[in-house]
Chain A
Amino acid sequence: METFKKIFNTSLLVPIVSILLGLIVGAIAMLSGGYDPLLAYQSLFERVIGSPYHMGETVRAITPLIFTGLAVAFAFRTGLFNIGVEGQFVMGMTGATIVGVVFDLPWYIHGPLAIIVGAVFGGLWAALAGYLKAARGVNEVISSIMLNWTALYLANYIVSSFLSEPGQQKSKPVHESAFMSIDWLVKLTDNARMHWGTLLALICVVLFYIILWRTKQGYELRAVGHNPDAALYAGMNVNRTVVKSMFISGLFAGLGGVFEVLGVFGNQTIMAASPGYGFDGIAVALLGGNTPIGVLLGAILFGGLSYGSGGMSFGAGVPSEIVRIVIGSVIFFVAAHGIVKFILKPFMSKRADKRKEAA
């Protein structure tokens, strides 16, 4: 009971209250636009669990967020803010598309090769930002934002120049041998795009824990995150740790992109803007307190909200961007937990008073 209380008081209360406050802010925004928030949230919920197809598609929407959430959280643990997950995600997509489209190999080589190449693309893109920080002192936030835009246009260039039929706005389809969908689950969910990436995402949640808390490397990564000066004094190579952390973070991000291509779309489009999973990953990581289980739960929440937002515009006529406001507000309250505690204070102190009276 004691431990339960401790968990509830410290780590769970703020996220839960933040989610509620975020939904309230969304409701206020909807009321100000003359929409019915209750109907909207109801249609959101119905969309998410309405049918096997929608449930499958919700899982599809959650999967990339697990990867990007892990990517952001991993870098956070080393004291780095990897805002460049977006670009690493795009590089992962591109790597997988290149291997998937260009090569023609047996399935047991083709699929794994595409996954590995995509992940490494993402990892190297992140390591570049890490290297610039370690070697030149460039703030990783600024450099990775610039790398996000560069990745977007580089990916568009590669797709339009080498991987697409002339005049097409997307690449040729990746070969069947590299495609990662789970056929029996697809049938079971009325053609929802289910793929092996979801399983790998769950494995990555476990790997995240093992790397950070069960290996010497992970100890170093966390030590640098806690106090780089102390880590340096203890004989750790801080610069190398920074690059390593960004590389692993980028691997997670790249994997997210890989499965959007190999599991969901089967090709890569020429994008006007990046897909946004990387930025949502920041939200997921913050809400999850940078813990593996927290990231999983955060991804389920935000994936559900994002997928359900389509139902809101369909069922209640609310523009689906309202979900961005809800998500933004939730992170705002998680980050500014001082505000949440401030709001909770009257309730908490009343309870404390009662407890005192009882005693």
Chain B
Amino acid sequence: MEELGQLINVTLVFSTALIFAALGGMFSERSGVVNIGLEGLMVSGAFAAAVGADYAAQAGLGGLSPWMGLLAALVCGVLVSLLHAVATITFKSDQTVVGVVINILALGGAIYFTRGLYEGSAQTPQLQEVFSKISIPFLSDIPVIGEGFFHAYPTTYIVIALVIISAFVLFKTPFGLRLRSVGEHPSSADTVGINVAKYRYIGVMLSGALAGLGGATITLTTTSSFAHNTISGQGFIALAALIFGKWNPYGLTGAAFFFGFAQALRTFAQQNFDWAREIPTEFFYMLPYVLTLVVLVAAVGKSRAPSALGEPYDPAKR
């Protein structure tokens, strides 16, 4: 039973980054802008977090430095997403193509600047100060569940709070209603005086901020440094979680748990079961992607994307 607690615990670690990014993708896509660039936004967040935390540590901020890394990731994510927003909203470019560009630019740029900042090394130095797990008093003493849910990184608690806040904002506030209306039927929204471009900019920038935090989570809890393979497809899995979770904050959280579980299973099974060591590692690496495919095949027919997703809004075509 102890192992089960650990499995849940590792699942949460992997899921946290996915939830951040998928939540970001939700704001962008609910406003009608496809965001294939989640991967790139996570990369830029992971890079900014590694560099930010490293510089903060050198400046003597100690235990505060991972928080500075988180802040740097947020700012960097927003800046990169602005590129996406300007191209797709103001200049009405193809959203998928721009997303692909964001992915190319973010990875190329992050490695380029890493080499520039750290004397040619393609990897940032190992951070000494990263987040450590926080145990919630009393609750963490409950068997299995305590180890599973109440002994986690601060980022996990932050993301759970953000999911609840996002659900409230999206479904219970005028802002959320407007954001959704812009993604469903921009011309109607425009008719009643909602500034379509403004809400789409907000949606895309929120996606940058949240996906940036997601990338930072991986740097500051799992890898402790940034390299070209730090993110390796997490942004795309987050995108799949978003679709599987039907563009709903709770749905995508559930989907992200599922994908996090698939990743946790790899390390977990290999550590604990002899039969798992017989299976070639490559199949465990494949597992999250194959599961994503299977899930998409099973679920996609039933989920409905925001109606205006992927269409640049052009008032002249009303």
Q: Which residues of A contact B (CB under 8 A)?
A: 29, 33-34, 81, 83, 132, 136-139, 141-143, 145-147, 149-150, 153-154, 156-157, 160-161, 272-273, 279, 282-283, 286, 319, 321-325, 327-329, 331-332, 335-339, 342
Contact = CB atoms under 8 A, between A and B. Distances in A.
A232 B7 CA distance: 50
Interface of B: 36, 83, 86-87, 90-94, 96-98, 100-101, 104-105, 107-109, 111-113, 115-116, 120, 228-229, 232-233, 236, 239-240, 243, 280, 282-283, 285-286, 289-290, 292-293, 296-297, 300-301
B296 A138 contact: yes
A321 B115 contact: yes
Most chain B Cβ neighbours within 10 Å, of A138, A146, A161, A282? A146
B173 to A, nearest CB: 30
A335 B94 contact: yes
A279 B104 contact: yes
Nearest to B98: A335
A135 to B, nearest CB: 9
Main secondary structure of the interface of A (DSSP, over half): helix
B242 to A, nearest CB: 10
A328 B280 contact: no
B91 A153 contact: no
A136 B98 contact: no
A336 B93 CA distance: 5
Contact of B113 (A33, A143, A279, A339): A33
B112 to A, nearest CB: 4
Contacts of B101: 328, 331-332, 335
Contacts of A286: 97
Nearest to A158: B282
20 contacts: A34-B116, A81-B96, A136-B296, A142-B239, A142-B243, A142-B296, A145-B233, A146-B293, A149-B289, A153-B283, A154-B286, A282-B100, A319-B120, A322-B112, A324-B104, A325-B108, A328-B108, A335-B87, A336-B87, A339-B91
A44 to B, nearest CB: 15
B282 A154 contact: yes
Contact of A338 (B93, B232, B243): B93
